[in-house]
Amino acid sequence: MVSGFHEWILSAWIWDGTLGWKHIIFAAPLLFVLLRIMLGMRRFKALVFSLTSLLVAKAVFTIYVVVVAMRIFPESSTYAPSQLNACLYVALIYAVLQSCFFGVVRFWRRMNLQAVIIIVFISNMLSALLVYKFLPNT
């Protein structure tokens, strides 16, 4: 079970580094717009939160893979999700990590955490679908 989880994380990370790198490019503006419209955040605050949450999620994701998953990962792996599933897996990982980020930020900044988590999931899933839409045909 644990090995399967690490294998799933590592495959999502590899996808994120190869064809899924556009996720952040789509997710940042989507999150910015949704924070502005749905929560009424000011431009600078929404920009800082959208960029910082994505960069922290990317850093935590990468550190986890380098420190934990690569050490446990078996040498012969056969797990390869479809392109759509890989996009959605990356979006799910980013959404969970960003939600944790906003959960920590809530201790210093007052915000409606439930609304922020919903916005984070919406922006990540939409960006996963956009990444999938603009993938090269293989």
| pLDDT recorded at residue 72 | 66
**Residue 88 maps to a domain:** yes
**Residue 60 maps to a domain:** yes
Number of Cβ within 10 Å of residue 29's Cβ equals 13
- If you compute the radius of gyration of the chain from its CA atoms, what whole number of angstroms results? 15
Confidence of residue 11 (pLDDT cuts 50, 70, 90): confident
Structural domain including 74 reads 2-133
Torsion, Cα of 68, 52, 15, 4 (10° steps): 30
Average pLDDT over residues 2-23: 78
Domain count, the chain: 1
**Residue 138 maps to a domain:** no
| Torsion angles phi and psi, residue 125, rounded to 5 | -70, -40
**Residue 71 maps to a domain:** yes
Q: Quick check: 1 pLDDT over 60?
A: no
**Residue 43 maps to a domain:** yes
| CB-count exposure of residue 138 (10 Å: 0-12, 13-18, 19+) | exposed
| pLDDT recorded at residue 46 | 93
Look at the block and give the residue holding tokens 């980020």: 101
| pLDDT recorded at residue 80 | 67
> What pTM, to 2 d.p., does this model score?
0.88
